[in-house]
Amino acid sequence: MSFLEIRNVSKKFGNIQAVDDVGFDVQNGEVFGLLGPNGAGKSTLISIMTTLLKPDKGDVIINGHNLNRKSSEAKRILGFVPQEIALYPTLTARENLMFWGRMYNLKGTLLKERVEEALEIAGLTDRAKGRIDTYSGGMKRRINIAAALLHKPKILIMDEPTVGIDPQSRNHILETVVKLNKEGMTVIYTSHYMEEVEYLCTRIAIMDHGKIIATGSKEELRQLVGNRETINVKISNAGSAVIENIRNISGVDSISLQDNELSIIAASADAILARVISALDSLRCRIHSMEVEQPNLESVFLHLTGRALRD
């Protein structure tokens, strides 16, 4: 039996179908990635998995407990790291952790022990008396994660846990996830940072417009693109005609343009490179850099949707 089962889950807000008939399984001890651009429906799905929202239809079953019926049992084994810094800024890190520990029904000595353990995991024992509003973004993120670990959950759901932080804190968080997983914790990790998902996750679901458009291991997903290569070109003076002109080049599978960066997928980069340069030159675009990449999750998403993950 899977540790987490998502069965035909849908959620609509007014006319917007935020989550549309989504289903997947997560096995015990797995790090499962949920990848998709902003607005894909990841956070809504996470809210449903963490009992914050009720689905219009479908079921979420965690370790045999259906959230529609036995949410309190499921909540005891569930840890949630929200995308926002959901902490009290005027309280110290220790006071915050004490409060969140109490919210998981921890008391007395056990509570104090767990708070110290969580501070150690966050690497902030020496700053425990500091108020959260005096912390850097990365330190806040680490306490945000520590608050979800106090009751030693069996499954940890992390919603974009590394948004807007320095590389050092990001590495600390990624290594923490790896360590927790090695200790047996199942992790659901959502991000729009492809590199993080590629690094951490054993299996990945790609989400777009409320739907799961592909699920599998990294290798399985790369297979969807085949042996195609991605050419990334940084340009300036990009006009509206650029995409149309490049798309018309024979051998180009798909193309996207964001922040003056063209991403072109083709069966063979060598075969089209000269024509791409020529087309850009004729459109008076200045080329700043150009690189050819092997298939990755970014190119998988581009291949499946015709858009870049960052769109």
Partner 1 sequence: MFIHIAFKDLRILFRDKKALAVMLLMPALIILIIGSAFSTMFEGGNEIEKFSIGVVDRDKGVMSQIFIDRFLKENMADVFTIKVVDDSKADKILNNEEVPSVIYIPEDFTEHIFGNKPVSLQVKSRADEQFKVKIVQSVAGSYAQNLSLAHTGASAIADGLQKYNIPVGVSGGDIPATTMLMFDLQSKLSHEMLSFKEENQEKEKAVSSIQYYSAAMLVMFLLFGANQGTKLIVEERESRTLGRILTAEPGKISLITGKFLGLYIICLLQAVILIVFTRLVYGVVWGELFPGVFLITACSVFAGAGFGMLIAALAKTPKVADGMGTVFIQMSTLIGGGMIPIFYMPDAMKTAAKFTLNWWAFQGYYNLMMGLGVETIFRYCAVLLAMGIVFLGIGIMRFRVN
User: Residue 117 burial by CB count (10 A; 0-12/13-18/19+): exposed, middle or buried?
Assistant: middle
Answer yes or no whether residue 111 interacts with partner 1 by CB under 8 A: no
Q: Decide if 88 contacts 138 (C-beta within 8 A).
A: no
Answer yes or no whether residue 95 interacts with partner 1 by CB under 8 A: yes
- To partner 1, the closest distance from the beta carbon of 188 in angstroms equals 13
Residues in the chain: 311
Find the binder of partner 1 among 11, 40, 50, 139 (CB under 8 A). 50
Answer yes or no whether residue 126 interacts with partner 1 by CB under 8 A: no
Q: Which stretch binds partner 1 (CB under 8 A): 90-98, 116-124, 201-209, 302-310?
A: 90-98
Find the binder of partner 1 among 24, 32, 100, 301 (CB under 8 A). 100
DSSP string, 122-191: HT-GGGTTSBGGGS-HHHHHHHHHHTTTTT--SEEEEESTTTT--HHHHHHHHHHHHHHHHTT-EEEEEE
Torsion of Cα atoms, 6 then 190 then 122 then 173, to 10°: 130
- To partner 1, the closest distance from the beta carbon of 31 in angstroms equals 20
Q: Which stretch binds partner 1 (CB under 8 A): 70-78, 168-176, 179-187, 193-201?
A: 70-78
**Rounded to an integer, what distance in angstroms lies between the CA atom of residue 191 and that of residue 180?**
18
Q: Which stretch binds partner 1 (CB under 8 A): 19-27, 74-82, 195-203, 211-219?
A: 74-82
Helix axes 93-103, 108-122, angle to 10 degrees: 130
- To partner 1, the closest distance from the beta carbon of 177 in angstroms equals 19
Q: Which stretch binds partner 1 (CB under 8 A): 55-63, 98-106, 112-120, 199-207?
A: 98-106
Q: Decide if 152 contacts 111 (C-beta within 8 A).
A: no
Find the binder of partner 1 among 54, 69, 102, 288 (CB under 8 A). 102
Residues that bind partner 1 (CB under 8 A): 47, 50-53, 72, 75-76, 78, 80, 82-88, 90-91, 95, 99-100, 102-105, 147, 151
